[in-house]
């Protein structure tokens, strides 16, 4: 998926993937990681997700990486935050207290960056499912390079019959999660639920009937 696709989606506000509330599976599953307060968390392809504010409220320094400047600006303006500019290698950044948003290509983030000096955890609700198959292994390798040796990932995927719709978000079956991640991680399936009209906000009505699954991944 090229950058122009995502820039256009944000410019035209075609952002049905954005949730208007904190993800329920995040709320229910985050404690399973057992992270102490102060453990830094990375949110790749973060958009303007409210999940970042929830993680911040749990006592974690949070770094989000997002391609679209529109998304970054919207996050700060909609949450009435006044960030200070910072630069992290090839990525432009904005910081408010323990929250940093970096704008640019996620693959340009390096472990040597101040904002990426070893994450205790990565929260992925919208990154893997946004990437076409050809990019997924390189994405996972990048995650591994940014995690501490004892780091963890909380991964949330979607699964639906591929013939019913075209991604993104792409359908990621359980077998693919184990096939792609098992070389680097021990994988635990924590929960799975079907998206229904009653359980989801209106922004995701197009995904009704999809299966949302959360996994805990622990580095080997």
Secondary structure class of 182 (helix, strand, coil):
coil
| pLDDT recorded at residue 195 | 83
Name the pTM for this structure: 0.92
Ordered per-residue pLDDT tens for the chain, 220 residues = 678 888 788 788 777 677 889 999 999 999 999 999 999 999 999 999 999 999 999 999 999 999 999 999 999 999 999 999 998 888 999 999 999 999 999 999 987 665 556 899 999 999 999 999 999 999 999 999 999 999 999 999 999 987 777 788 999 999 999 999 999 999 999 999 998 765 545 445 567 788 999 999 999 9
Question: Which structure tokens are listed for 124?
Answer: 């992925």
Contact 185/219 with Cβ under 8 angstroms? Answer: yes
Assess contact for 35 and 123: CB atoms under 8 A. no
Total domains in the fold of the chain = 1
Instruction: Measure the CA angle with vertex 200, ends 174 and 69; round to 5°.
Output: 85
Q: Count how many residues are written for the chain.
A: 220
Q: What is the domain-level CATH number for residue 166?
A: 3.40.50.150
CB–CB of 158/193 below 8 Å? Answer: no
- DSSP secondary-structure letter at 79? T
**Residue 117 lies in domain:** 3-11+19-219
């Amino acid at each position: 998926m090229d950058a122009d696709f995502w820039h256009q989606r944000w410019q035209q506000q075609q952002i049905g993937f954005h949730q208007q509330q904190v993800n329920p599976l995040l709320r229910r599953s985050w404690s399973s990681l057992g992270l102490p307060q102060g453990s830094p968390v990375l949110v790749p392809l973060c958009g303007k997700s409210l999940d970042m504010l929830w993680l911040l409220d749990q006592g974690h320094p949070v770094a989000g990486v997002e391609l679209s400047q529109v998304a970054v600006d919207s996050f700060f303006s909609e949450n009435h935050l006044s960030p200070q500019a910072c630069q992290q290698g090839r990525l432009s950044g904005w910081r408010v207290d323990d929250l940093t948003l970096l704008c640019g290509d996620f693959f340009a983030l390096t472990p040597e960056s101040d904002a990426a000096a070893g994450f205790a955890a990565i929260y992925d609700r919208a990154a893997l499912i946004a990437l076409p198959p050809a990019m997924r292994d390189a994405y996972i390798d990048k995650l591994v390079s940014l995690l501490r040796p004892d780091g963890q990932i909380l991964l949330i995927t979607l699964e639906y019959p591929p013939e019913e719709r075209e991604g993104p978000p792409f359908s990621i079956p359980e077998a693919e999660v184990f096939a792609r991640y098992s070389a680097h991680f021990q994988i635990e399936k924590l929960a799975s639920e079907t998206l229904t009209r009653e359980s989801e906000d209106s922004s995701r009505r197009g995904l009704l009937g999809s299966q949302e699954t959360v996994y805990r991944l622990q580095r080997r």
